[in-house]
A = this chain, B = another copy of it.
Amino acid sequence: MRGEALKGHLDLLLLAVLHRNPAHGYAVIEELRRLSGETFDLPEGTVYPALHRLERNGMIASRWSEESGRKRRIYELTPQGRKALEVYCDEWHRFADGVNSLLREVNVPCVA
């Protein structure tokens, strides 16, 4: 997966994962990989800064957790984040419909 493909859709993915369950950063990465069918295997340098940004913007909130001596920062959606997720989800569908519509119209010869 080329990196640029993700741009502008990462927030949707992260909010979606956290909508399922509150989780810490490392778990988010794993869940993202698992739930996307191994499609998204994001590096920490991508996910951690993005989580910080989402928290800074009030989309998610975090608390420290210490289970079995391990420090983890647990993130969960705020009400605002829940709303944003719906908006992003709508935008995603309109975007995907637009691309698919175009590809259908021009009859692009995909390998798949």
Contact, CB under 8 Å: B37 / A98: yes
Proximity string of chain A (70-107) to chain B, C-beta cutoff 8 Å, 1 when within and 0 when not: 00000000000000011101111111111111110111
Q: Say whether chain A's binding surface is mostly helix, strand, loop, or mixed.
A: helix
Contact, CB under 8 Å: B6 / A94: no
Q: How many copies does the complex hold?
A: 2
Q: Could you tell me the distance in whole angstroms from the C-beta of A49 to the nearest C-beta in chain B?
A: 15
Indicate which residue in B1, B37, B101, B110 contacts A35 across the interface (CB closer than 8 Å). B101
17 further interface pairs, Cβ-Cβ under 8 Å (given A36-B99, A89-B103, A92-B103): A4-B8, A5-B91, A8-B8, A16-B102, A16-B108, A17-B102, A20-B106, A35-B102, A35-B106, A36-B98, A36-B102, A39-B95, A40-B98, A89-B108, A89-B112, A93-B110, A96-B99
5 CB contacts below 8 A, A to B, read A3-B8, A5-B95, A39-B98, A85-B109, A90-B111
